[in-house]
A and B are shown apart, each in its own frame.
Chain A
Amino acid sequence: MSAVERLLSRAVKEISPGSIVNLGIGLPTQVMHYLPENFDVQIHSENGILGAWKQAEPALMDPFLIDAAGAYVSLREGASLFDSAVSFAMIRRARLDLTMIGAFEVDALGNLANWKIPGKFSPGIGGAMELAQKTKRIVVLTTHTDKHGNPKILKTCRLPLTAKACVSRIISDLAVIDVTPQGLVVREKLTDISNGDLQALTEAELTFETGEAAHEFV
């Protein structure tokens, strides 16, 4: 299993039956493909869909039906379509149970930065501020380090924030980490890595609920 597959197959377990879930651009939108066919969930896509589902077979693919990342989706029975004002009313009125979202940086206080790298790559806010500020539970999906090997899980975010103290849990390719009042707590390790090595790849201080020899991964 690749690092990304490991992350995604763990992330899918975050989704409770009967919930309404938004999946952000990047790693989160891929989580949908790990859901069992008959799983009881309504996927919200901020471009105006409640009840989005996996890509249809080629003959049934609709060019007028995409998710927020541009991927072609289908609709489950009971789906609804609506304009952007209604879509974000749903978000700001906290009708969503869970948002999984990507990050440039996330920190020990649960602050999230994912919209602006000044002068380099500023994709923009999109739905992120409203989702991060108003969804009942925010789970960040991110590689543990950036492509240069630098930590993305920091003591304090340095980039402009998307929202303060909004993140409940971080799932990386290496570990499941909760944001708690006492700081970051490692709940599971997703690969065979020592506590010392995991800490070395993380700028924020970690405490370990798992023992050194814990093998939660399979």
Chain B
Amino acid sequence: MKKNRTLENAIAAIPSGAVIMVGGFGNPGTPFSLISELVRQGQTDLTVIKNDANEAGHGISRLIEKRQVRKLITTHIGLNKLAIDRMNQGAIDVEFHPQGILAEKIRTAGAGSFGFLTDIGIDSEITRPEDLVDWKGTAYKVEMALSADFALIHAAQADWLGNLVYRGSAINFSPLMAMAANHVVVETPDLGAPGRFKPEHVHTPGAFVDSVVPLESLTSDYGILEHHVRR
């Protein structure tokens, strides 16, 4: 069955109040086109789960700037002063996790399990007494799985069954989120017929993907950011 959707239809499935995972670490992997459409349609009261807040004026920062986001579950927003200011003003609720713990919480949900035990941050203020369990004389922190209503994913290449291939460092959280969300929307500038990939080269199998949105071209957001080029 073809999973092709238009940009407008794919994003219109998202209601206000939804919990949305967004792939990407910095720019690579950020689905800028899906986010732009979400900004245009204007759904509000969103909970967004993303590694970072992109940079001011780009990606999910635009959702924060338009006050569509109630809560951000993330690991690091140090490259977005605007998001830090909004957090300090109390305009957005920000929940920080250690990066690999966020990844593992998402992976765990994606694997159909409910939680795992760790010692990361066990001595720090991110651990509350009620998060601890004692097992055979050792204390562990319980980390619960993290799922979502939707995942928004950028793939370098896809076929219309939803098989995905990522590029460069754009893999990051995307394959994990594609497994953990109930409805997975993928954008790609390169959509083709099944058979185009060697089966062993597929990163995310199509079973996890619900909608594939072909992009006619990539905007400047996907290009080189001049202020990150070393001179």
The interface of chain A, by Cβ under 8 A from chain B, is 25, 33, 45-49, 55, 58, 61-66, 68-72, 81-85, 87-89, 91-92, 115, 119-130, 133-134, 160-164
- With both chains docked as a complex, state the minimum distance between the C-beta of B90 and any C-beta of chain A, in angstroms: 11
Decide if B78 touches A125 in the complex (CB within 8 Å): no
Decide if A124 touches B75 in the complex (CB within 8 Å): yes
Label chain A's interface by main secondary structure. loop
Decide if A163 touches B96 in the complex (CB within 8 Å): no
Decide if B77 touches A124 in the complex (CB within 8 Å): yes
Also in contact, A161 and B123, with CB within 8 A (given A47-B169, A64-B156, A64-B168): yes
Also in contact, A64 and B170, with CB within 8 A (given A84-B103, A125-B76): yes
Residue from A62, A63, A123, A127 within 8 A of B100 (CB atoms): A127
Residue from A33, A46, A122 within 8 A of B84 (CB atoms): A122
Decide if B103 touches A127 in the complex (CB within 8 Å): no
Residues of the A chain whose Cβ atoms lie less than 8 Å from the Cβ of B169: 45, 47-49, 64-66, 81
Residues of the B chain whose Cβ atoms lie less than 8 Å from the Cβ of A162: 124
Beyond A84-B173, A88-B103, 8 additional pairs, beta carbon < 8 A: A47-B169, A64-B167, A70-B225, A83-B171, A84-B172, A88-B99, A89-B100, A161-B125
Q: Digit string of B63-102 for contact with A (CB within 8 Å is 1, else 0)?
A: 0000000000011111100001001100000101111111
Contact sample, A vs B, 17 pairs, CB 8 Å cutoff: A46-B99, A46-B100, A64-B156, A64-B168, A68-B25, A70-B79, A83-B172, A85-B107, A88-B99, A92-B100, A123-B76, A124-B76, A125-B126, A126-B78, A127-B100, A130-B98, A130-B101
Give A83 to B29 CA distance when docked, in angstroms: 11
Give A126 to B119 CA distance when docked, in angstroms: 16
Residue from A47, A123, A130 within 8 A of B120 (CB atoms): A130
The bracket for how many chain B residues form the interface is: 35 or more
Residues of the A chain whose Cβ atoms lie less than 8 Å from the Cβ of B120: 92, 129-130, 133-134
Residue from B25, B74, B167 within 8 A of A84 (CB atoms): B25
The interface of chain B, by Cβ under 8 A from chain A, is 25-29, 51, 55, 74-79, 84, 87-88, 94, 96-104, 106-107, 119-121, 123-126, 156, 167-176, 222-225, 228-230
Q: 4 shortest A-B CB distances, which residue pairs? A: A88-B100, A123-B78, A126-B76, A64-B168
Also in contact, A83 and B173, with CB within 8 A (given A123-B76, A130-B120): yes
Decide if A160 touches B124 in the complex (CB within 8 Å): yes
Decide if B75 touches A126 in the complex (CB within 8 Å): yes
Residue from A48, A58, A92 within 8 A of B172 (CB atoms): A48
- With both chains docked as a complex, state the minimum distance between the C-beta of B186 and any C-beta of chain A, in angstroms: 15
Residues of the A chain whose Cβ atoms lie less than 8 Å from the Cβ of B102: 84
- With both chains docked as a complex, state the minimum distance between the C-beta of A200 and any C-beta of chain B, in angstroms: 31
> A63, A65, A91, A119: which has the most chain B beta carbons within 10 Å?
A63
Residues of the B chain whose Cβ atoms lie less than 8 Å from the Cβ of A63: 27-28, 222-225
Chain B: which residue is nearest A161 at the CB level? Answer: B124
Residues of the B chain whose Cβ atoms lie less than 8 Å from the Cβ of A127: 75-76, 98-100
